[in-house]
């Protein structure tokens, strides 16, 4: 039995090893998993370009003005009556049904929270107000 | 004479399936994740129903519940530092969009003057960041 050698068939080698690629992909995966945040964010315009100087002013006859005062406790007051979100939307919708182009002016107290202002802007948007202004507080914080 | 064949090495197709799964996860997290610089303090934006989708880009001004300020994750000492930083950003980018990410409990006296100051500096596109959901 001298000279019997068994040759194993040579296995075809892959051209490029996949292991480094898997390593890189796993590192990328962990990176994106760690750096991801799952906040779903929207936006509300606070300064519209259309309100810039040069926008055509609307005639005084076709529009009125509705002022919503936002108290320090965050309760909006429309025409002397304090009302919450749904009531404010209904009241504003009633006003806007008569004068669709009425300008809604929000006069917020400096002590009210951002959520209170956003809620009022939300109610105005749901009532169909197209012209909404927030009176800015100029005092330094 | 009987020769035991060596047990075949595990085939590489199992690795291909793993790569597929990892690749799907990778793409998922790349699409879902936001890489925005986060503020060094806690900011929970207010809840609103009528917000619209927020495009990327621009500068993010974070306002904490106590009035702390940060622009793109860098803490600012006060409104003066914000004015300086905004002026620097507005030089090469006059159409800068400023996203005001204010905490829902931040008092408006800390927030609204900043919007006015930014407009006075020439920022024409200021948006408030909100979270979609039913208004409490």
Report ipTM for this prediction. Answer: 0.70
Domain presence at residue A114: yes
B32, B46, B52 member nearest A114 (Cβ): B46
The beta-strand segments (E) located in chain B are 47-48, 52-53, 59-63, 69-71, 74-76, 97-102, 125-132
- The average confidence (pLDDT) of chain B is 80
* Alpha-carbon gap, residue A119 to B47, rounded angstroms: 8
DSSP assignment letter at A70: E
Enumerate the residues of chain A whose CB falls inside 8 A of the CB of residue B49: 122, 125-126
Residue B53: strand pairing partners? A42
Q: What token pair was written down for A93?
A: 């919708």
In a domain, A22, yes or no: no
pLDDT at B84 > cutoff 80:
yes
Domain residues for the domain of A104 are 63-134
Buried b (16+ CB within 10 A) or exposed e, B90-113: beeeeebbbbbbbbbebbbbbbbb
* Percentage with pLDDT > 70 across chain A: 77
Buried/exposed code over B63-75 (b: 16+ C-beta within 10 A; e: otherwise) = bbbebbbbbbeee
Confidence (pLDDT) at A55? 44
- Rg (chain A; Cα; Å): 32
Interface contact A126, partner B, CB < 8 A: yes
Alpha-carbon distance B91 to nearest alpha carbon in chain A (angstroms): 19
If one counts the domains in chain A, the total is 1
If 0-12 CB within 10 Å is exposed, 13-18 middle and 19+ buried, where does residue A120 land? Answer: buried
CATH number at residue A120: 3.30.420
Mean pLDDT along residues A47-72: 61
Looking at the predicted structure, is the pLDDT value of residue B3 above 60?
A: yes
Chain B contact for A118, CB < 8 A?
yes
Does the beta carbon of A45 lie under 8 angstroms from any beta carbon of chain B?
yes
pLDDT of residue A83: 80
Q: What is the pLDDT of residues B39-73, one digit of tens each?
A: 778 888 888 887 777 677 788 888 888 888 888 88
How many Å from the N-terminal Cα to the C-terminal Cα in chain A? 100
For the cut 60, the answer to whether the pLDDT of residue B118 exceeds it is yes
**Closest to A137 (Cβ–Cβ): which among B79, B113, B125?**
B113
pLDDT band at A62 (very low <50, low <70, confident <90, very high): low
Instruction: Tell me which chain B residues have a C-beta less than 8 angstroms from the C-beta of A137.
Output: 108-109, 112-113, 116
Across the interface, whether the CB atoms of B34 and A39 are under 8 A apart is answered yes
For residues B86 and B118, is the Cβ–Cβ distance under 8 A? yes
Q: Which of A47, A85, A122 sits opposite B124 (nearest CB)?
A: A47
User: For residue A141, what pLDDT band results from cuts at 50, 70 and 90?
Assistant: very low
Q: Is the pLDDT of residue A48 over 60?
A: no
Residue A54 confidence (pLDDT): 41
Token pair for A51: 């309100």
Domains assigned to chain B? 47-132 (3.30.420.270)
Are A8 and B6 in contact (CB < 8 Å)? Answer: yes
Q: What pLDDT is stored for residue A137 in this prediction?
A: 60
- Contact A25/B19, CB-based, under 8 Å? yes
Strand partners, B48: B132
Other Cβ atoms closer than 10 A to A86? 11
Total length of chain B: 136
Q: If you ran DSSP here, which 8-state letter would residue A54 be given?
A: T
| Residue among A39, A43, A70 minimizing CB distance to B127 | A43
Q: Does the beta carbon of A84 lie under 8 angstroms from any beta carbon of chain B?
A: no
- Put simply, the answer to whether A136 touches B46 (Cβ < 8 Å) is no
B12 contacts A110? CB cut-off 8 A: no
> Each residue of A97-139: pLDDT tens digit?
887 777 888 888 878 888 888 888 888 888 877 778 887 765 5
pLDDT cut 90: percent of chain B above it: 0
Q: Compute the average pLDDT of residues A22-35.
A: 84
Report chain A residues whose CB lies below 8 A from the CB of B23. 25
pLDDT at residue number A123: 84
At residue A59, the pLDDT reads: 47
d(CA A85, CA B96): 33
Q: B121 at the A interface (CB within 8 A)?
A: no
Interface of B with A in 64-93 (CB under 8 A): 67, 79
In a domain, A115, yes or no: yes
């Amino acid at each position: 039995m001298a000279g019997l050698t068994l040759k194993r068939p040579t296995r075809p080698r892959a051209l490029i090893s996949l292991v480094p690629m898997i390593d890189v992909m796993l590192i990328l995966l962990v990176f994106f998993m760690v750096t991801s945040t799952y906040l779903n964010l929207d936006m509300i315009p606070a300064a519209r370009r259309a309100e810039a100087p040069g926008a055509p002013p609307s005639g005084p006859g076709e529009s009125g003005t509705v002022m919503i005062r936002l108290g320090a406790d965050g309760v909006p007051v429309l025409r002397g009556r304090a009302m919450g979100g749904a009531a404010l939307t209904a009241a504003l919708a009633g006003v806007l049904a008569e004068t669709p182009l009425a300008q809604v002016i929000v006069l917020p107290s400096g002590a009210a929270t951002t959520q209170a202002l956003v809620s009022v802007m939300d109610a105005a948007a749901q009532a169909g107000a197209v012209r909404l202004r927030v009176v800015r507080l100029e005092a330094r914080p | 004479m009987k020769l035991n064949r060596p047990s075949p090495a595990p085939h590489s197709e199992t690795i291909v399936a793993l790569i597929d799964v990892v690749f799907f996860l990778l793409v998922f997290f790349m699409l879902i994740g936001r890489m925005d610089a986060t503020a060094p303090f806690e900011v929970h934006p207010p809840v609103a129903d009528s917000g619209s989708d927020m495009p990327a880009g621009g500068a993010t001004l974070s306002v904490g519940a106590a009035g702390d300020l940060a622009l793109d994750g860098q803490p600012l000492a006060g409104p003066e530092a914000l004015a300086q930083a905004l002026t620097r950003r507005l030089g090469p980018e006059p159409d800068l969009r400023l996203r005001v990410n204010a905490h829902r409990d931040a008092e408006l006296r800390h927030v609204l003057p900043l919007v006015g100051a930014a407009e006075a500096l020439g920022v024409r596109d200021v948006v408030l960041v909100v979270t979609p959901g039913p208004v409490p």
